Amino acid sequence: MRVLCVAEKPSIAKAVAGHLSGGDVQTHNTPEKYIKNYVFDYDFGRPWGKCKVTMTSVLGHLTTAEFPPEYKKWDYPPPDHLFDAPVNVVVAADKTKVADNIEKQARYANALCIWTDCDREGEHIGYEICEAARKGNRTLDIKRAKFSNIERAHIINASKNLITLDHKQVNAVASRIELDLRIGYAFTRFLTNSLRTLGGPFQNLLLSYGSCQFPTLGFVVDRYFRVRNFKPEPFWGIKVMHKREGIDVNFNWARHRLFDRAAVIILYERCLTAKTAKVTKVQEKPTKKWKPLPLTTVELQKMATRFLRMTGQQAMETAEGLYNKGFISYPRTETDRFDPGMNLRALVQKQTQSHAWGEFAQNLVDGRFQQPRQGRNDDKAHPPIHPITFAAPSVLNEQEKKIYEFVVRRFLACCSEDAKGVATDIDITYGEESFHAHGVVVLERNYLEVYVFDSSHGCQRDWNRRHYGRAHPKDSGKRLRSDRAQN
């Protein structure tokens, strides 16, 4: 029996072929320079059994939706007619070689196995592959492999438990594509033609509309005007500072801030008149700093912008490159919880050879491994972003090194223990005013040993050393200081 397997991307086809073949694979070129055909033998189990397999791929969507030529003129028909116009689904001009390769290989196959991503878009791409294959062979037995990462055990398990294509998801994506086409064309034509009649700078204006881009632009513009129209107002506050045993302790004012300078000056002078502060409360209690949740796309972009000096787009482009090379998992995911069936310890083991974090990984392997926290989000398509295998620094460029190191350190932190310490809260009265200080003494750093990033302002500093007084973002107000407080 001959089986044609088709993946969504060339990198996935190569990885799956490597796992299923055990390395015994023949590679053939195709008319599309980015795509290879991999030929090998594999036993799928029931019902297909031992098969001769050809593994290939597409490059994302094969088809595109478009209006007939007579509906593409700017002046006719009117925009509202586009909601009733016929829509043609055709193979995209740049994907004809990809479709031809699938059609040709299907002629020699008895069955087709879809290896696209396990999400709605992947389901629709799988349907496009089916349609291309049926042009070469209408009698194919069609199945779909359900997988969310390219670990060998996961791929083997998916190949032994094939399912059918979900046509409800296919139809959902097809509807979204048609709506995007109709709405985009109609509103772009309406907005552009309406403004061009005004002449002047609008004469040659093209104002495009998209179901996602336009609302997003609205959010950006709204935020811009909020910032531009903000009118700062000066305020004043009092902060007590005390130094003892070489440690600077900052006590924050219970009132926080007032907008009346004269009132603050009076309260400040009353504090100075008192000369001595009275400790009214000292409380110590165990505390911990939670280890981070597994990594999602949005979190990767936020952290890259904050700590790696990269834009969100640069981070994603770099992550996509690492994914295509097989170093990390698929970087576009909303999932922040690992599937219980994933062998995370094996992934940790692969990082023990690193000079930077290998010792920490080895400690996890030797018994300190903890199951990651479970977030609330699961897109049922892809796992959280995590390293697939170890990548030596010599095989990565500078941008890839940053993203790969972050992904690995985040993953190892997820598999570690929470940081533990003792929190101390101190309340004092200085004159008639109340002040508060908070400090942390770290007992066990645990995940912080490897995770040198932190998304919350000031918290990393608290857990790096003994520290009193929460840090506040800089503001435009003023503080009156008093360093005369005594216990």
Task: Give per-residue pLDDT as tens, 108-161.
Answer: 999 999 999 888 999 999 999 999 999 999 999 999 999 877 778 889 999 999
What does the alpha-carbon distance between residue 18 and residue 12 come to, in Å, rounded to a whole number?
10
What does the alpha-carbon distance between residue 38 and residue 14 come to, in Å, rounded to a whole number?
8
Report the pLDDT value the prediction gives residue 455, as an integer from 0 to 100: 42
**62 and 163 inside one domain:** yes
Confidence of residue 323 (pLDDT cuts 50, 70, 90): confident
Structure tokens at 62: 């094969």
Q: Does 268 participate in catalysis according to the annotation?
A: no
Of these residues, 42, 323, 330, 404, which one is catalytic? 330
Under DSSP, the state recorded for 109 is -
Q: Whole domain around residue 348: which residue ranges? A: 297-414
* Sheet arrangement for strand 141-144: 26-29, 36-43, 50-57, 2-7, 111-115, 141-144
Helix (H/G/I), strand (E/B), else coil: 88: strand
**392 and 444 inside one domain:** no
Is residue 33 domain-resident? yes
Is the separation of the CB atoms in 397 and 326 below 8 Å? Answer: no
Over range 392-401, report the average pLDDT: 94
Does 469 score more than 80 pLDDT? no
Over range 31-58, report the average pLDDT: 95
Is the separation of the CB atoms in 63 and 125 below 8 Å? Answer: no
Residue 234, CA atoms < 13 Å, CB-side half-sphere: 7
**258 and 304 inside one domain:** no
Of the residues 117, 151, 170, the one at which a domain ends: 170
Helix (H/G/I), strand (E/B), else coil: 262: helix
What does the alpha-carbon distance between residue 198 and residue 421 come to, in Å, rounded to a whole number?
67
Task: Give the phi and the psi of residue 432 in degrees, each rounded to 5.
Answer: -100, 5
What does the alpha-carbon distance between residue 108 and residue 131 come to, in Å, rounded to a whole number?
16
Is residue 192 domain-resident? no
Is residue 138 domain-resident? yes
**392 and 426 inside one domain:** no
Dihedral angle sign, alpha carbons of residues 87, 93, 97, 98? negative
> What CATH number corresponds to the domain at position 370?
1.10.290.10
Is the separation of the CB atoms in 435 and 477 below 8 Å? Answer: no
Confidence of residue 482 (pLDDT cuts 50, 70, 90): low
**12 and 152 inside one domain:** yes
Does 391 score more than 80 pLDDT? yes
Rg (CA), the chain: 30
**444 and 408 inside one domain:** no
Residue type, 340: P
**16 and 104 inside one domain:** yes
Residue 356, CA atoms < 13 Å, CB-side half-sphere: 15
Higher-confidence residue: 115 or 487? 115
Distance from CA of residue 180 to its chain's centroid?
Answer: 24
Torsion, Cα 439 441 446 447, to 10 degrees, reads 20
**251 and 374 inside one domain:** no
Of the residues 414, 439, 457, the one at which a domain ends: 414
What does the alpha-carbon distance between residue 460 and residue 444 come to, in Å, rounded to a whole number?
14
Contacts of 340 (CB under 8 A, 6+ apart): none
Does 462 score more than 60 pLDDT? no
**319 and 337 inside one domain:** yes
Distance from CA of residue 353 to its chain's centroid?
Answer: 26
Does 414 score more than 80 pLDDT? yes
Is the separation of the CB atoms in 442 and 418 below 8 Å? Answer: no
Residue with tokens 């939706």: 65
Does 484 score more than 60 pLDDT? no
Q: Which of 431, 425, 437, 429 is nearest to 278 (CA)?
A: 429
**271 and 354 inside one domain:** no
Q: Which of 446, 445, 333 is nearest to 380 (CA)?
A: 333
Is residue 90 domain-resident? yes
**332 and 470 inside one domain:** no
> What CATH number corresponds to the domain at position 86?
3.40.50.140
Mean pLDDT of the chain: 90
Q: How many domains does the chain have?
A: 3
- As beta bridge partners, residue 277 has 430
Is residue 176 domain-resident? no
Is residue 195 domain-resident? no
